[in-house]
């Protein structure tokens, strides 16, 4: 029973530490860095999917033939 109390104390300390961590703000949009655009739903032609935007939309880039 003593081990259970010690595990609960360790869990409480871990949760306290996790709650005190500062929020890391990402000042950049990874979709815009990849020259993409955010669209709701799936990417349609002439765009193709390259990832997910911060708001949950699809990050799409225009397909360019070389």
| Residue ranges of domains in the chain, CATH in brackets | 31-65 (3.10.360)
Q: What's the pLDDT at 24?
A: 56
Phi, psi dihedral angles at 33 (to 5 degrees): -65, -30
Q: What is the CA 23 to chain-centroid distance, rounded?
A: 13
0.75 exceeded by the pTM?
A: no
Each residue of 29-66: pLDDT tens digit?
A: 788 888 899 999 999 999 999 999 888 899 999 988 77
Dihedral sign (CA 45, 48, 52, 54):
negative
Each residue of 2-38: pLDDT tens digit?
A: 788 787 777 766 766 655 655 555 557 788 888 899 9
Residues 6+ apart with CB under 8 A from 52: 58, 59
């Amino acid at each position: 029973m003593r081990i259970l109390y010690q595990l609960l104390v360790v869990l409480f300390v871990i949760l306290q530490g996790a709650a005190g961590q500062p929020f890391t703000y990402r000042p950049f949009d990874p979709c815009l860095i990849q020259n993409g655009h955010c669209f709701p739903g799936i990417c349609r032609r002439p765009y193709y999917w390259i990832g997910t935007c911060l708001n949950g939309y699809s990050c799409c880039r225009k397909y360019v033939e070389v």
